[in-house]
Amino acid sequence: MRDKSDKGQGPKPDDQRPEGERIAKFLARAGIESRRGVERLIEARRITVNGKKVETPAFFLTGSEVILLDGKPVALAEATRLWRYHKPVGLVTSHADEKGRDTVFAALPKDMPRVISVGRLDLNSEGLLLLTNDGALARTLELPKTGWTRTYKVRAYGKTDQKRLDRLAKGVVLDGRKTGSIRAELLPGIGNNVWIEVRLNEGKNREIRRAFETIDLQVNRLIRTSFGPFELGNMPKGGLAEISARQIHAAMKRAPGSNSTKGK
């Protein structure tokens, strides 16, 4: 006799499956909705897998299933891809700008797949911007716990010395919130502007510019030169270069916050 407990069930909950990926994460990577949005679709009984309605987000999918949303096939995610892009000054890191300004994404080659940025660079900042077609990867790379250092070359108007710059290493209070450590090193040079190399592991909107203002420096040029193991190098402004899957895998394994590096 057939076990009634199996009647009407779709894919088994994740505690009963040896491999795969939760349906919400799987469909979020496919660009259907955010994970929370997918959960709402499941609650509304709008998703079916192999002909059966999904009733809980605690399902594993392997990618071989037939998945329908409102009766229409779901286009599954492409393989994860990542690019280095040399963002010029004057582009907004947004898919659309309410002020009608030029955007990074409109400037990309027409044959590029839909991508999102890993973090942002503001309108007047330039340099290395990572782009990916995988939202989950973007979120992972942005997290401070991943441990990747962002490096910038900054030009600022004013006079300073290394002792004053070292104050930033303890963080500064901006809008009532203390920043993380900002490690700044004065570079050789003369004139009314100074060049400074800056390293940090997490950066909010205009954080470097505003932190420098607390020590009487006015930033007039900001160039991101690296993001973790990925470097801008000699890439021309507007240049684009894909990072291989092998390089992505190796970089993630070496990330300070990855499981592979813990305990070493």
**Same structural domain, 21 and 39:** yes
Q: Is residue 3 part of a domain?
A: no
Domain membership of residue 213 (yes or no) is yes
Number of domains the chain contains: 2
pLDDT of residue 84: 98
- The CATH number linked to 51 is 3.10.290.10
Instruction: Indicate whether 60 and 149 sit together in one domain.
Output: no
Under-70 pLDDT residues of the chain: 1-19, 31, 33-34, 77, 256-264
Which residues belong to the active site? 122
What is the bridge-based pairing of β-strands 218-227 and 126-132?
A: parallel
119 in the same domain as 44? no
- Whether residue 86 sits in one domain with residue 64: no
Residues 101 and 206 in one domain: yes
The answer to whether residue 2 sits within a structural domain is no
- Would residue 263 count as lying in a domain? no
Do 69 and 115 lie in one domain? The reply is: no
Distances (CA, A) of 252 to 26, 241, 257: 20, 18, 9
What domain range is 103 assigned to? 82-253
pLDDT for 103-161, tens place per residue?
Answer: 999 999 999 988 889 989 999 999 999 999 887 888 888 887 777 999 999 999 999 99
